[in-house]
Amino acid sequence: MRKHWLDNLRWVTVLLVLFYHVIYFYNNKGVFGGIGGFGDGPQYQDAMMYILYPWFMPMLFLLAGISARYALAKHSAGEWFKARTRKLLVPSTIGLFVFHWMVGYFNTAVADRMGVFEGIPGVVKYGIMAVSGIGPLWFIQLLWLLSLVLLAVRALDRKDRFWTWCGKAGIVTIIMLGVLFWVGEQTLVKHPRPESADGLYNLYKPFFYLIPFLLGYFVFSHDAVQEKIKQAWIPLMISAVVSGTVLLVTTFGQDNTSPQYLGSPLNCIYGWLMCLALMGWFQAKFDRTGPFATYMTRSSFGIYIVHYLVVASLGYMMKIYTQLPPWAMYVILTVAVFTLSPLLAELLRRIPFIRWCVLGETKR
């Protein structure tokens, strides 16, 4: 029987990613990317970055691990990985040159206005824009790589002995797994060198995200484990809210994506508790579906794939070419990303070959 809470939590998290990127695009906390904020004073709306960033991407990898377990119970490893390659690798490679070069155009627009690309052949500039358009696609690139790692790990546990053993975890053990959350953050380069690939490594965080992905597969795919966090969702949520409030109050103004911030014990405690609390809450209250939830379950991946073009293009043009007050920019960009992204995804889904390149779909 399909677990609707899993689908619902996934698409709700994707919608929160969209909202996060609206806030992130105009942040003034020193977070890399975006176009910058509105002066050096406090932007209290940036608090959403501190609330969401510690947990929403680990959550997506955790849910992906659970889903991988269910899918591999029905399909061979070869069939599953072939489907993963089409769904994840094609959009994040071929799709860059078909669609996401437009995101790269706006990502490099500031450099272009400064004359950095002057004299560079058009085909080279196009390649630079395509690579610069990766944006949020780092998630599916890394997910494809972790899927490959999972197949190797499964080969060591062919009789599912480790998976079976993980299913015996009690609620205390489940909470203490948050230590692995902290361990993963310690693999980041604490002082990235500007001239190196350290910053890129810290963006992808492969060893950190491998942890929730494998925990999803080996631990949280068990009905017994899911039931335990479902029963404990209220104290877990209270603990997450308290730790998140303390984190926000004591660190607001810092770069919440820096290695030092991410590796702090309080950030890891909050991030892990929120992952557990939300999984328990959605099992308890949202394990059902309806027309809208069914649509979002089918469409959230495509919305995620295309949404940053809306953020980058409209967000850039409003900041550079208009005198709109900041609050109006936030409102317009929020409405636009939640309305235009689904429309754009539906449009691309109806164009043969393009839907394969950009969304990894072979048919409507």
Taking the C-alpha atoms of residue 353 and residue 188, their distance in angstroms, rounded to an integer, is 38
Q: What is the pLDDT of residues 185-243, one digit of tens each?
A: 999 999 988 878 898 899 999 999 999 999 999 999 999 999 999 999 999 999 999 99
For the four alpha carbons of 318, 37, 197 and 301, in that order, the dihedral sign comes to negative
Residue 314 lies in a domain: yes
pLDDT at 175: 98
Residue 12 lies in a domain: yes
Taking the C-alpha atoms of residue 7 and residue 71, their distance in angstroms, rounded to an integer, is 14
CB-CB contact of 315 with 26 (8 Å): yes
CB-CB contact of 90 with 357 (8 Å): yes
Residue 363 has pLDDT above 80, yes or no: no
* Alpha-helical regions (H) of 31-76: 47-52, 56-72
Please tell me the total number of residues recorded for the chain in this structure: 364
Element (H, E) at 217: helix 206-218
Given pLDDT bands bounded at 50, 70 and 90, which one contains residue 121? Answer: confident
Taking the C-alpha atoms of residue 218 and residue 238, their distance in angstroms, rounded to an integer, is 26
Torsion of CA 351, 357, 363, 364, to 10 degrees: -50
Taking the C-alpha atoms of residue 150 and residue 57, their distance in angstroms, rounded to an integer, is 18
Residue 310 lies in a domain: yes
Q: What is the pLDDT of residues 16-64, one digit of tens each?
A: 999 999 999 999 988 877 888 998 888 999 999 999 999 999 999 999 9
Residue 364 lies in a domain: no
For residues 170-191, give the mean pLDDT. 96
Residue 319 lies in a domain: yes
How many structural domains comprise the chain? 1
Residue 132 lies in a domain: yes
For residues 278-299, give the mean pLDDT. 97
pLDDT at 36: 87
Residue 284 has pLDDT above 90, yes or no: yes
With pLDDT > 70 as the criterion, what percentage of the chain qualifies? 98
Given pLDDT bands bounded at 50, 70 and 90, which one contains residue 116? Answer: low
Mean pLDDT of the chain, nearest integer: 94
Residue 117 has pLDDT above 90, yes or no: no
Residue 109 has pLDDT above 80, yes or no: no
pLDDT at 122: 83
Expressed as residue numbers, the domain containing 148 is: 4-359
Residue 114 has pLDDT above 60, yes or no: no
